[in-house]
């Protein structure tokens, strides 16, 4: 039966009267004055600035006589509209838990941190365990790791467990170590290090050693997970981030996303990378899940770890740390182990994303990609996460096998002095080498590694084309030969970040056929000075043609 | 904008020219000649046999002139159409794994079982572990449990682990016990029993003791789970079962259902009861999931266990077994533990379903329901699964607090001689007491406990109103005072089984507003003799107005 449909409106909806700016692959900036959106929340057309009201043929005009042209219309009053940002590397639930727990990230000294901890304990007397995050002995100018003894005067008998800003070390007090039965006799597990003083555990546990304490930390309840998710989502939407790669989704993280999505609470789009091959397989079975919930969720890949982080000297270096001559960091996996895990993921069609910070770790992963690419051909998009310190001779290898460098510009501005201390002056040529990645033909995707850094895309953007921090330091930018252009940075935070997650058909660019994910901001970031750009405020966030967040 | 819709067809679809028979609450049998189905796969109307072509007003006739009355029409050629059956208690993936593994359920002797095992090993030389199910020393007339020694001549060095027909005991060989490091020194865990000969483990592990071996049995891969699911679903649809309560869904079972549903492979409807409170909470969070995938999946409750099974003497009795005077079976949980777990589930709004076979276990659960109902009021539908052996003085208690007796008629016909042996002649008055449940005002839901029994609703139905087995034994029915009527049985297998799973608004009765789940069969079961009823063959199974299975 042929249905007799009424003459349809020209579009289901129009977001009208905007100063629209977006970017296409290759760096072309596109201006538009309106977005047409269909029933499924996809962009059907961007109306160029010069174009008047839609030009209709005589016949169309007759058909549409007396009828509105659109089912709905929103007038933005000339405000600037941009594509939603895609964060290529973050940790959704960690950010939510962090926001709901003790936050030490803004503390400037050990004493300030201790005051915060004491205040938190006073304000939360019912919580047996005191959990927190964000400390950084570098930011405190402490010149050493903090110790369990430092917490003695504030604990009030509570076990305390505090995660370092980079998540690669934890700080425990005496009570926490007692609960975990960690003593001077406890040996550091493979891939981890127990800091010691005079044979006794000092309080800090690096990388794999964190598990010694974490195994006795009470697990969050599902309702606490839900609260953490909603908190994280609110933060992301408030920064104009409409999609993220969740790097290391656990089974319970995944159950949380589904629980939220099942009741319509998942608004931000999540490209999920399972924590390890087994989790990927338990969730996806023989391969990635389909895109679920109208392109809001997909488990498409696996997150693996080749090493730790620079701050805690867990990053795996070719030569010893300049500020700790006996140490070269930690390789988490042997070459065989890494390749075995990559094979297991790749043979089921999962994308592989490997954390590599140090030059030795990056070399190991590049070697593994080379080997794996012989067997697993086609469009694999091998990802190296962070690719922070790379031996200059290895840089060209990023251009091969479709490798993606997934990097975080704000790490450079936050960590440059620490990196200089760890590496010395002669190993910086391949550090945070964004421009070299592009020059060598690698795909470059930008993210923030939230909650290690705030998921602030404007800070990322400004850092990327200045290599200066918020105070404009250093003059002229740090290692300025590795600057990228404003357009290159923007694409790395939108279309390329979606591409890095096999999502380029779904979102990333504000263009016909893509989901209508966009944000309303208070200035035009393509025209703003770096300082002004950093101050950009998002007033509305739209996902799939629906307004999902408004600044209050 | 008001949309100008074309005049709609009278219905989206019609399943026409059927000998339709269904049942409503209260036992009323309803005949119909056609089913009208809407776009969402719901029944909009059952057309009564006498009614001619739809009577249209002059205005409607004019409107519909020249147009078909329905978007689609299927002519069933006068075949009998029934509502799909709802199985109130089964184990979906276990049935699938069982069907894909060594099946001993039809063996008539230990020697036959040994031949099967030897043949299976010869046919599957690559499988290190030999896994199977379905043995029953009662059916073999063995008069004792089998032993590890019985497997010595056939194992070929493979570890062997075989589950008893009721799932409440397992049979291991020497190699399996060696892998599990079980020796004469191993003590039986709480809620379990290691059978022994001369101080050494004999080979059979009852109830909780099965875990000693199972912990070393390799876990199935996700792809094996998918295959098991699809196999189980095919079996269910072939029997005309369109919805099931999955009693004890593990996290990996749940992930399998979602994985299948995400790619459109979940056709049978699943009312999921999580294996334990923690699993329910990890999946559902603060309460049941919504109905997902157009009423195909919901995790609404928790499965708990009060005791074991009768065959393995794990059922918990008020007085010792007649055929094992020193034993009274096993209570899995103390009263406090049971009530604590029920509280934890109920406070989050999960339904509670507790396995109870023995009269002592049933008493414990009835006590717990009485206590819990004081706090957790409202429509709770506490379920007792099996309710097999009940002290006659406890029978009236099933009529209180909205309690549901979830029972399996074919267990009675399969187990009656075993039950007589276990209980002696004086404890049968409250055994498989279906009629008493109804008389006392309990809600009665029927299932099969597949794969313990085949998920054959026609066998269940015939057993329910005859209390005779397929051979018509015993004459006049076993304990015939507990017969239910044909109509009572039918309702317990359809509408009441859906009600027992909080699904009565979704399916269970073929009536307007319900999902159009129905089957095409080769005879009218309301007219058939018990023998003929048992021989009923399903030719097509439809779920949500879609044909999902056809006999080949």
Lowest mean pLDDT among B54-63, B137-146, B149-158: B54-63
Count of CB atoms within 10 A of residue A519's CB?
Answer: 25
Query: Do the beta carbons of residue B422 and residue B316 sit within 8 Å?
Result: no
To 5 degrees, how large is the angle CA B326–CA B331–CA B334?
130
* Strand, helix or coil for residue A256: helix
Contact B495, B517 (CB under 8 A): no
Model confidence pLDDT, tens digit, residues A200-211: 999 999 999 999
**Interatomic CA distance for residues A191 and A187, integer angstroms:** 12
- Asked if the C-beta of A261 comes within 8 angstroms of chain B's C-beta atoms, the answer is no
pLDDT band at residue A3 using 50, 70 and 90 as cut-offs? very low
Give the chain A residue whose CA is nearest to the CA of B72: A1
Considering only CA atoms, which of B291, B242, B248 is closest in space to residue B267?
A: B242
Residues 6+ apart with CB under 8 A from A183: A177, A200, A201
Contact A289 B259 (CB under 8 A): yes
End-to-end CA distance of chain B: 50
Instruction: Look at B3 and A6 and tell me if their CB atoms are within 8 Å.
Output: yes
Over residues A297-322, mean pLDDT: 95
Average pLDDT across chain A, whole number: 94
Distance CA A371, CA B346 (A): 54
Lowest mean pLDDT among A61-65, A246-250, B10-14, B223-227: A61-65
Helix/strand/coil for A317: coil
Question: What CATH topology corresponds to B94-214?
Answer: Diaminopimelate Epimerase; Chain A, domain 1 (3.10.310)
- The answer to whether residue B9 neighbours chain A at the CB level (below 8 Å) is yes
B384 beta partners: B354, B405
And the tokens for A427?
A: 């190993």
Q: What is the DSSP string of B333-393?
A: S-HHHHHHHHHHHHHTT-EEEEEE-SHHHHHHHHHHHHHHHHHS-SS---EEEE--B--GG
CB contact under 8 Å between A285 and B6, yes or no, is no
Alpha-carbon span A161 to A478, nearest angstrom: 35
The per-residue pLDDT for A33 is 96
| pLDDT tens-digit readout, A128-143 | 899 999 999 999 999 9
Return the bridge partners of B303, or none.
B275, B353
**Lowest pLDDT segment from A44-58, A488-502, B207-221:** A44-58
Per-residue pLDDT averaged across A501-519, rounded? 97
Q: If you average pLDDT over residues B414-441, what whole number do you get?
A: 96
> In the prediction, which pLDDT does B56 show?
65
Does B223 sit within 8 Å of A286, measured CB to CB? yes
Using an 8 Å CB-CB cutoff, list chain A residues near B39: none
* B4 with A6: Cβ contact below 8 A: yes
The reported pLDDT for the residue numbered A5 is: 42
Rg from Cα positions in chain A: 24
8 Å CB contact between A272 and A249: yes
- Asked if A225 lies within 8 A of B285 by C-beta distance, the reply is yes
Residue A517 confidence (pLDDT) above 60:
yes
State residue A424 phi and psi, 5-degree precision.
75, 175
pLDDT at B9 over 80: no
CATH of the domain spanning A95-214, picked from 3.40.50.720, 3.10.180.10, 3.10.310.70, 3.30.530.20: 3.10.310.70
- Banded model confidence at residue A281, pLDDT cuts 50, 70, 90: very high
The pLDDT of residue A478 is above 60: yes
| Selected residues 22-81 of chain B with any CB under 8 Å from a CB in chain A | 67-68, 71
B283/A259 CB distance under 8 A: yes
If you ran DSSP here, which 8-state letter would residue A220 be given? P
Task: Note the pLDDT tens digit of each residue in A92-106.
Answer: 999 999 888 899 999
The single-letter DSSP state of residue A350 is -
How confident is the model at residue B537, as a pLDDT?
98
User: Does position A6 have pLDDT exceeding 50, yes or no?
Assistant: no
Nearest Cα of chain B lies from the Cα of A222 at a distance, in angstroms, of: 5
DSSP β-bridge partners for residue B292: B297
Nearest to B67 among A1, A281, A283 (CB): A1
* ipTM (interface predicted TM): 0.85
Burial class (CB in 10 A: 0-12, 13-18, 19+), B552: exposed
Q: Is the pLDDT of residue B62 over 90?
A: no
B151-155: average pLDDT: 95
Residues 6 or more apart in contact with residue A550 via CB below 8 angstroms = A539, A540, A541
Angle at the Cα of A327 from the Cα atoms of A321 and A333, rounded to 5 degrees: 105
Helix (H, G, I), strand (E, B) or coil at A550: strand
Whether A258 contacts chain B with CB within 8 A = yes
Using 50, 70 and 90 to split pLDDT, how confident is the model at B71? Answer: confident
- Give B-chain residues touching A225 at CB under 8 angstroms: 285
Q: Is B108 on the interface with A (CB under 8 A)?
A: no
**Cβ burial B2-23 (10 Å sphere, 16+ → b, else e):** eeeeeeebbbbbbbbbbbbbbb
CA separation for the pair B211, B314 (Å, rounded): 15
> CA-to-CA distance for A90 and A70, rounded, in angstroms?
38
CB-nearest partner of B1 from A9, A259, A262: A9
- pLDDT at residue B393, as a whole number: 97
Tens-digit pLDDT profile for residues B310-363: 988 999 999 999 999 999 998 999 999 999 999 999 999 999 999 999 999 999
Find the mean pLDDT for residues B523-540: 97
Q: Rounded CA gap, B202 and B209, in Å?
A: 13
**Global confidence as pTM:** 0.88
Contact B7, A1 (CB under 8 A): no
Contacts of A255 in chain B (CB under 8 A): 282-283
Give A70's pLDDT tier (boundaries 50, 70, 90). Answer: confident
Q: Measuring CA to CA, which residue among B386, B546, B552 is closest to residue B12?
A: B546
Ranges A349-353, A533-537, B4-8, B436-440: which has the least confidence: B4-8
pLDDT of res. B53: 62
Give the pLDDT mean for A176-198: 94
For the segment A541-550, the average pLDDT, to the nearest whole number, is 97
CA distances from B213 to B154, B162, B169, B183, B207 (A): 19, 11, 11, 12, 11
What is the CA B239 to chain-centroid distance, rounded? 13
Question: Which CB contacts under 8 angstroms, 24+ apart, belong to B257-262?
Answer: B257/B229, B257/B297, B258/A258, B258/B297, B259/A283, B259/A284, B259/A285, B259/A289, B259/B222, B259/B226, B260/B226, B260/B229, B260/B230, B261/B292, B261/B293, B261/B296, B261/B297, B262/A289, B262/A290, B262/A292
d(CA A514, CA A305): 32
Residue A39, min C-alpha distance to chain B (Å): 14
The minimum CA-CA distance between B211 and chain A, rounded to whole Å, is 22
pLDDT at A53: 62
- What mean pLDDT is predicted for residues B416-428? 94
Which residue of A221, A282, A288 is the best one to mutate when testing the B interface, meaning the one whose CB has the most B CBs within 10 A?
A282
Residue pair B396/B425 in contact by the 8 Å Cβ criterion: no
| Helix ranges, B353-456 (H) | 359-375, 409-423, 434-439
Q: What ranges do the domains of chain A cover?
A: 11-78, 95-214
A2 pLDDT more than 50:
no
Structure-token match 């895990």, residue found? A341
State phi, psi for B423 to the nearest 5 degrees. Answer: -105, -20
Calpha distance A308→A192 (Å, rounded): 9
Which residues in A lie closer than 8 A to residue B263 (C-beta atoms)? 290
Q: Is the dihedral of CA B217, B221, B224, B225 positive or negative?
A: positive
Average pLDDT over residues B266-276: 98
A284 lies within 8 A of chain B by CB: yes
Chain A partners within 8 Å of B259 (Cβ): 283-285, 289
Residue whose entry in the numeric block shows the structure tokens 């400004």: A462
Count CA atoms within 13 Å of residue B123 on its CB side: 8
As a whole number, the mean pLDDT across chain B is 94
The distance in angstroms from the start CA to the end CA of chain A is: 50
Give the residue on A whose Cα is nearest the Cα of B220. Answer: A282
Cross-chain residue pair B285–A3, CB shorter than 8 Å: no
Give one word for B77, left, alpha or beta, with left for phi > 0 and alpha for psi -120 to 50: left
Return the residue in B8, B222, B278, B348 with the most chain A beta carbons within 10 A, the one to mutate for interface testing. Answer: B222
Q: Are strands A269-275 and A297-305 parallel, antiparallel or unpaired?
A: parallel
In DSSP terms, B506 is beta-bridged to none
Comparing alpha-carbon positions, the chain B residue that sits nearest to A348 is: B223
pLDDT tens sequence across A334-355: 999 999 999 999 999 999 999 9
Binned at pLDDT 50, 70 and 90, residue B190 comes out as: confident
pLDDT at A366 > cutoff 90: yes
Contacts of B58 (CB under 8 A, 6+ apart): none
Computed on alpha carbons and rounded to an integer, the radius of gyration of chain B in Å comes to 24
Instruction: Give the CA count within 13 Å in the CB-facing half-sphere of B518.
Output: 33
């Amino acid at each position: 039966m042929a249905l007799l449909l009424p003459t349809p409106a020209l579009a289901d909806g129009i977001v009208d009267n905007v100063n629209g700016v977006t970017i296409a692959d290759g760096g072309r900036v596109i201006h538009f004055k309106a977005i047409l959106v269909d029933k499924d929340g996809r962009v059907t057309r961007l109306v160029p600035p010069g174009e008047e009201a839609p030009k209709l043929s005589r016949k169309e005009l007759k058909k549409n006589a007396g009828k509105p042209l659109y089912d709905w219309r929103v007038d933005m009053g000339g405000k600037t509209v941009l594509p939603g940002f895609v964060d290529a590397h973050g940790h959704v639930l960690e950010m939510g838990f962090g926001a709901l727990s003790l936050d030490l990230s803004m503390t400037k000294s050990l004493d300030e941190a201790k005051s915060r901890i004491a205040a938190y304990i006073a304000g939360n007397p019912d919580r047996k365990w005191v959990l927190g995050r964000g400390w950084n002995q570098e930011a405190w100018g402490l010149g050493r790791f903090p110790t369990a003894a430092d917490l003695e005067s504030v604990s009030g008998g509570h076990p305390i467990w505090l995660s370092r800003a980079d998540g690669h070390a934890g700080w425990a007090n005496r009570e926490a170590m007692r609960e975990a039965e960690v003593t001077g006799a406890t040996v550091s597990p493979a891939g981890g290090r127990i800091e010691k003083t005079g044979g006794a555990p000092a309080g800090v546990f690096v990388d794999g050693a964190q598990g010694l304490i974490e195994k006795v930390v009470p697990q969050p309840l599902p309702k606490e997970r839900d609260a953490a998710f909603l908190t994280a989502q609110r933060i992301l939407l408030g920064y104009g981030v409409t999609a993220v790669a969740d790097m290391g989704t656990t089974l319970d993280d995944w159950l949380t996303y589904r629980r939220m999505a099942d009741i319509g609470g998942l608004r931000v789009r999540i490209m999920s990378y399972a924590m390890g091959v087994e989790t990927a397989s338990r969730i996806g079975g023989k391969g990635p899940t389909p895109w679920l919930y109208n392109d809001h969720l997909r488990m498409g890949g696996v997150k693996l770890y080749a090493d730790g982080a620079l701050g805690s000297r867990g990053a795996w270096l070719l030569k010893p740390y300049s500020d700790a001559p006996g140490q070269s960091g930690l390789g988490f996996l042997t070459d065989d182990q890494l390749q075995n895990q990559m094979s297991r993921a790749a043979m089921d069609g999962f994308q592989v994303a490997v954390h590599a910070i140090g030059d030795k770790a990056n070399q190991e992963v590049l070697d593994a990609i080379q080997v794996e690419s012989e067997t697993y051909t086609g469009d694999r998009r091998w990802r190296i996460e962070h690719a922070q310190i790379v031996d200059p001779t290895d840089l060209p290898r990023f251009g091969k096998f479709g490798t993606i460098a997934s990097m975080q510009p704000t790490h450079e501005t936050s960590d440059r002095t620490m990196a200089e201390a760890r590496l010395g002056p002669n190993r910086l040529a391949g550090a945070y080498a964004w421009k070299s990645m592009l020059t060598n033909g690698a795909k470059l995707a930008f993210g923030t590694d939230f909650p290690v850094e705030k998921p602030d895309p404007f800070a990322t953007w400004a850092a990327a084309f200045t290599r200066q921090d918020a105070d404009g330091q250093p003059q002229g930018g740090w290692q300025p030969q590795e600057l990228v252009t404003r357009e290159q940075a923007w694409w790395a935070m939108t279309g390329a970040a979606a591409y890095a997650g096999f999502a380029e058909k779904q979102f990333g660019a504000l263009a016909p056929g893509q989901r209508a994910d966009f944000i309303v901001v208070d200035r035009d970031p393509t025209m703003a000075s770096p300082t002004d750009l950093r101050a950009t405020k998002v007033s509305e966030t739209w996902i799939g043609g629906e307004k999902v967040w408004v600044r209050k």
